[in-house]
Amino acid sequence: MSAYLSIDDVGMTFASAQGANFVALRDIDLKIAAGEFVALIGHSGCGKSTLLNIIAGLLRASKGGVLLQGKEVNDPGPDRAVVFQNHSLLPWLSVYDNVKLAVDKVHGKTKSAKERDDWTRHNLALVGMDQALTKRPNEISGGMKQRVGIARALAMEPKVLLLDEPFGALDALTRATLQDTVMELHAKLNNTVIMITHDVDEAVLLSDRVVMMTNGPAATIGEILDVKLPRPRNRLELVTDAEYGRYRQAILEFLYARHRAPAHAA
Ligand SMILES: Nc1ncnc2c1ncn2[C@@H]1O[C@H](COP(=O)(O)OP(=O)(O)OP(=O)(O)O)[C@@H](O)[C@H]1O
Ligand SMILES: [Mg+2]
């Protein structure tokens, strides 16, 4: 049986203006099942965003390719919604209109005006933003902006949700709250998620598998950790959980002992 999302032998070489080619990624093979939550972790510059952008169809791989339900990914599409670290809301539109715009675009032909309005409100309610519909992006906090970004992505009913360090710019407390929101949404909607993170605890807490990448140039998958902690997961209980500690240790060991950041490499 073929995988839901299949990343086959992907390599990425960037041509530079000086004529020298830069090999960012090589030999990336990854099969992801429907409903799986996968974290991508690795040092800065190893190619995580490049890989995510290839899956999103925003970049074309130089080698290999990506299949979603057996269909080749060549362009961006609403079946693969992306949430970036820096909220990409349109500043002149309200919270409601930022989500509604995407809803109209994706569901304009399939849902009635009333259904699209309901669907916009429903998705904003899912992330707890239904009380701020008329606010503009500059009137809400960073965490709230990311919530709206997630609502907008979910409203597109993507087959795969791609998150590129969505909480990277947030303080630890807001980050924890949003991680809980994402966990609840995943439990409720069972969507397939690929999330880039630098945060070891975030990776273990949220994921079914943690994909650890080696350093670039020519970065690839170094190791994959299966996180078998039962769900629902509770961050407070996990702090003292021995198995959680072992997963955490395995990632730290990979990142800081075996694949140290290039600047610190011997
Ligand atoms: N358009 C491009 N042209 C040339 N090189 C690029 C381009 N995009 C990315 N790179 C290079 O590819 C490598 C991987 O970049 P990428 O942004 O994927 O890293 P990352 O793992 O997401 O890093 P970070 O954690 O800092 O976001 C880097 O060395 C980067 O300089
Ligand atoms: Mg990146």
pLDDT digits (tens, 9 = 90+) for 19-63: 889 999 999 999 999 999 999 999 999 999 999 999 999 999 999
Alpha-carbon separation of residue 36 from 85, 206, 216 (angstroms): 21, 10, 26
What pLDDT is attached to residue 69?
96
What pLDDT is attached to residue 34?
97
pLDDT at 97 over 80: yes
- SS3 at position 38: strand
Share of the chain above pLDDT 90, in %: 88
For ligand 1, atom 29, which residue shows the shortest CA distance? 45
24 in ligand 1 pocket by Cβ < 6 Å?
Answer: yes
Ligand in closest contact with the CA of 42: 1
Give the DSSP H or E segment for 64. strand 63-68
What pLDDT is attached to residue 263?
64
14 in ligand 1 pocket by Cβ < 6 Å?
Answer: yes
What pLDDT is attached to residue 1?
58
Residue (of 205, 210, 198, 211) closest to 244 by Cα position: 205
Mean pLDDT, residues 178-189: 92
Which residues are bridge partners to 219 per DSSP?
25
What pLDDT is attached to residue 168?
87
What pLDDT is attached to residue 264?
54
For ligand 1, atom 6, which residue shows the shortest CA distance? 14
For ligand 1, atom 28, which residue shows the shortest CA distance? 45
Between CA 52 and CA 39 the distance in angstroms is 11
Report the interhelical angle of 95-107 vs 142-155 (nearest 10°).
Answer: 20
Ligand 1 pocket test: which of 14, 62, 85, 167 has the largest number of ligand atoms within 8 Å of its C-beta? 14
Enter the pTM of the model.
0.94
Residue (of 196, 153, 191) closest to 53 by Cα position: 196
